[in-house]
Structure 1
Amino acid sequence: MAVELDLERRQMIEEVLNALGNWKRLAALEQITKGVPAKDIHKNIDASRSGVQHFINDFKDAELVREEDGTYELTAKGEVVVQMLTDLDDEFEEFERERFRGLAHESSLSIEEMEKMLEEVKQDRGE
């Protein structure tokens, strides 16, 4: 697959990837999509208030969120990015299922037993 992007789109993608560069940033964006006030996000993702504010500033710089009446909400661009992340998560979940099915086929466990194990792992992660 060849990727040909003009410079402006490359910069846009770089800004988004930098803004979402780790799991705490992704978790902060998720909190914003749930309507959690910025002042409470740090409690839910085990980050400092200043760290969360830094994340939000990066989200604003990347045009993913905007401030509206003291709260943050997704921009149109932010909605596209969140939808893409949701789709990617779905694809990774299917990838995990296929990998587990392959392992089940190679092992003495049934697919149902492996799927049950996958569900237990997801529950342990809090998903």
Structure 2
Amino acid sequence: MIPLGILLHGAGHEPAHYALVLATAAAAVGRPVTLFATNAGLALFRRDAPLLADPREALLEARAVAGIGTLAEAAEDLGIRRIACEAGMRAEGIAAPDLAEGVEVAGVVTFLQAVGAGQLLSL
């Protein structure tokens, strides 16, 4: 299967949610997926999970749509590789202990190597 790399740099709930929607769907059909977050997109990988407090989470749940919490658990179960951009972390003032368990810290080169000749999406 063709690897999929998703670059999450956008701020807020919506791009993070859709990055997880795409990542979990691709992994569910057997594609290797690497989710790389940088700058504002790093909120998705934070240990304190600020995006779970967004009002959209409750709205999605009320409408029977999987939210970030559910999709993040599925991403872990599906073996999606999560990489936090080292430079983006410095830019945002985020330290490694601020990240959720299982999130790697690496740079763009590592992300590109993981995706190889696969497809890249940017949100």
Shorter-normalised TM range = under 0.3
> TM-score, normalising length from structure 1?
0.27
Which has the higher relative contact order, 1 or 2, with Cα contacts under 8 A spaced 6 or more apart? 2
Greater helix percent: which structure? 1
Structure number with bigger Rg: 1
Greater strand percent: which structure? 2
